[in-house]
Amino acid sequence: MTVSDFLRALFDRAVAVADPMQSLAAALPPRPSGRIVVVGAGKASARMAEAVEAAWGPCDGLVITRYGYARPCKGIEIVEAAHPVPDAAGVAATRRMLDLVAGCGAGDFILALISGGGSALLCAPAGDITLAEKQALTQALLASGAPIGVMNAIRKEISAVKGGRLAAAAYPARMLALMISDVPGDDPGDIASGPTVGHRGDAARALASLAAWGVEPPPSITAYLAAGGDPVLPDDPRLSRVENVIYAAPAQSLAAAADLARAHGYPVEILGDAIEGEAREVAARHAALALAAKGPRLILSGGELTVTRRGNGVGGPNAEYALALALALNGAPGIHAIACDTDGVDGAAEVAGAVIGPDTLSRAKAAGIDAADALACNDAHTFFFTIDRQVVTGPTLTNVNDFRAILIEG
């Protein structure tokens, strides 16, 4: 097995333990009697629905997932929509979902399947905000480098479904929300912007955050936020019959990869599962750690990095991290790394991430591509495509966010 193959095996192990078909059944209660409705949204939601029906049999319901991520279900309807920028298909399906849960009564049981990506897929703009305006705001936030927590806080304030509003619409039905976490800190209110979790609301803070990150919202969004929004508070009586459970999280995937590495004789250092920051800056810090390491070692980390768009290249936070790491290591012998998103999509590209090694820069030079120039214009995916070091998985059907592994051979 080559070093690249070993790094890929670590990533594959991290993804496998978060596969709903392997992990969700243990979190399910016995099938309730009476009417059951299954709803959900996220990149893993269709796979979660498939796992539910494998355990409970056919169910009624509606789940929204990313294009290409549908799974065969016997009763639950799977709708595909756009991510990371929402589209009309997502809006129409979200409105149908709100109507579906609103039609449930006190004797009904609603199972909500929530995973990362749901913020874009569950889209119901509040007030007079249009889809086009929501799309423009999303694109601006993605380019700004704002961390996911800031983005989700803003999304909650301008939505008719996030921030506990889906659960509020379902009252008085009983609801169990099963979640796969893709957010640093594993806060249920941040996963898919918390459609089943109430929040205090702070429209003024959302406006301040937009200004701080250099995002000028459309006038309708400014007006809606200036009016104070309409939050569903955590103690809202409509949330009294909701239970939120995170059953899979990034820490479990890092632990599984660490176990595999130890089985191959490598000491493991886990930096944490909630690392945030600008991808190239985090890469520089991790390169310094790797260069200072003594003896064979594997350094693991997770979380969610961001990219402030400076150029017009094609990239994502994991590929940009890998490219910046390669530049900082500058061909240091015996150091290899992989950086991938566990959902198989790094940024908006159908690429999970990339692998690097001591030969990365020399391969680029031989191919006629300059690594520093690629980093300067956020063109990491083109860079790694050119030197044949992309990691392409297709839909993984789960999402526990970034996975990074640096292997020091010693």
| d(C-alpha 82, C-alpha 307), whole Å | 21
Last residue of a domain, one of 220, 248, 276: 248
CATH, residue 46: 3.40.50.10180
Nearest in space to 307 (alpha carbons), one of 218, 394, 374 = 374
Instruction: State residue 148's pLDDT score.
Output: 87
Strands 275-278 and 297-306, by their bridges, are parallel
For the segment 368-387, the average pLDDT, to the nearest whole number, is: 97
Does any domain span residue 23? Answer: no
Does any domain span residue 393? Answer: yes
Are 64 and 156 in the same domain? yes
Strands (E), 134-257: 174-180, 242-248
Does any domain span residue 25? Answer: no
Q: How many domains does the chain have?
A: 2
Q: Which amino acid is at 103?
A: G
| d(C-alpha 378, C-alpha 298), whole Å | 27
Are 244 and 277 in the same domain? no
Are 384 and 257 in the same domain? yes
Are 234 and 269 in the same domain? no
The pLDDT > 90 percentage for the chain reads 94
Are 125 and 257 in the same domain? no
* Residue entry with tokens 């595909």: 80
Give the 3-state secondary structure of residue 159.
strand
Are 263 and 150 in the same domain? no
54, burial (CB in 10 Å: exposed 0-12, middle 13-18, buried 19+): middle
Last residue of a domain, one of 248, 264, 293: 248
Token digits of residue 171? 């009252």
Are 281 and 354 in the same domain? yes
Are 244 and 260 in the same domain? no
| d(C-alpha 395, C-alpha 213), whole Å | 31
Structural domain that includes position 274:
3-11+251-408
Last residue of a domain, one of 248, 274, 309: 248
- Look at residue 330 and tell me whether its pLDDT is greater than 80: yes
The H or E element containing residue 20 is helix 20-23
pLDDT of 240-285, one tens digit each?
A: 999 999 999 999 999 999 999 999 999 999 999 999 999 999 999 9
Does any domain span residue 19? Answer: no
pLDDT of 15-68, one tens digit each?
A: 999 999 999 999 999 999 999 999 999 999 999 999 999 999 999 999 999 999
For the segment 397-405, the average pLDDT, to the nearest whole number, is: 96
Are 114 and 181 in the same domain? yes
Give the predicted TM-score (pTM) of the model. Answer: 0.93
Are 322 and 334 in the same domain? yes
Are 83 and 132 in the same domain? yes
**Contacts of 173 by beta carbon, 8 Å cutoff, 6+ apart:** 37, 101, 104, 105, 106, 108, 109, 110, 241
Are 291 and 348 in the same domain? yes
Instruction: State residue 383's pLDDT score.
Output: 98
Instruction: State residue 348's pLDDT score.
Output: 76
Nearest in space to 174 (alpha carbons), one of 233, 250, 112, 251 = 112
Token digits of residue 266? 């490598």
